[in-house]
Structure 1
Amino acid sequence: MSQRWIPQTPHEHAVMAVLRDVRAFSDAMDRMHGGMKGDMAMNATDLQALRMMIMREQREEAVSPHDVARHLRITTASTTKLLDRLTESGHIERQPHPTDRRARIVVLTEESRQAFYRHFGEKLFAMRVVAERFDESDLAVVSRFLSEISDAIDPD
């Protein structure tokens, strides 16, 4: 679609308002993450890798170097350089895979995890306070919406 969409109906205006709010939320998240890059002396790709590892850790999922490459859409050579850089700076450790003796996983160091929560803790708490104002059915709709929007933007 190469033409600008102009809402006509009340429903289309509501859709446009929600999409504006999604963009504003995305901008706010970018600004929040941008501050951490400087605090932790890392580039945007490094921070993306750490954020992905935090999310996977919260779901109790192991992260392989291949997972990092796929998530960031970078080559295995670039992934090796990134992981070397994060290891040397003390942000991650490479460890044996818990079930596959041939494989390795990458995990956050405690220092990196603490820096992440030091930087984002207040903001994460503020976000939780907002979310707690909604009931379970509202939160289920919001969760479904955000998940489907994420899949529409990035289907992989």
Structure 2
Amino acid sequence: MPTGWAETESLLALREMIAVSERINRVVARRAQLGESELVTLSHLSREQIGPAEVARRLDVSTAAATGIVDRLVARGHVERRPHAGDRRRTELVITESGRGEVVAHLLPMFVALDRLDRSFSPEEREVVARYLRGVTGAYQAVLAEGSERPTV
């Protein structure tokens, strides 16, 4: 462990959760007979409509690679390309019921278990958990930020 990294129960649990979550995409993609990038794209599209360029940015791949991912999802009937409502030069990607079903079918048991767990906490406990997870998200985003400084430990 790096100097300054305390092995608290919460940090050990977080590391464990990260390790398991890294496997989720691989396992679910294999079960759904999708590539990991295709599954991640469906996951993004299940939350919001984005275009192919945004898919490339979020997956950290070239626009050509993103086009290939989208082409495969369109061919399987999981995604549709539509003209952007505000700018007809742009394309918007929309997840279909088939695509949404593919994501939900494999992840619903996990979502149900997480909902049950969340409801087992008091509002005050949920606020502490939310604050911690937002901090974790901020730490992740700092790593992803271009030109970010390395923290000293």
**TM-score scaled by length of structure 1:** 0.80
Question: What does 1:1-150 align with in structure 2 at a 5 Å threshold?
Answer: 4-5=2-3, 12-13=6-7, 16-54=8-46, 56-57=47-48, 62-150=49-137
Runs of 4+ in 1 over 6 A off after TM superposition: none
Count of residues paired in the alignment:
143
Cα offsets for 1:16-70 (capped at 9, x unmatched): 322211121122223333322112212222222122222x33xxxx311122111
Identical counterparts, % of pairs: 27
Structure 1 residue 6 displacement after superposition: 6.1
Amino acid of the structure 1 residue aligned with 2:3: W
**Contact 2:39/2:103, CA 8 A, preserved across alignment:** no
Alignment CA distance shift 1:148-1:85 (3 Å): same
- In 2, distance between residues paired with 1:50 and 1:141? 30
Gaps of 5+ in 1: none
The amino acid that maps onto 1:116 is: V
TM-score normalised by L of structure 2:
0.81
Q: Which ranges of structure 2 fall in alignment gaps of 5 or more residues?
A: 146-153
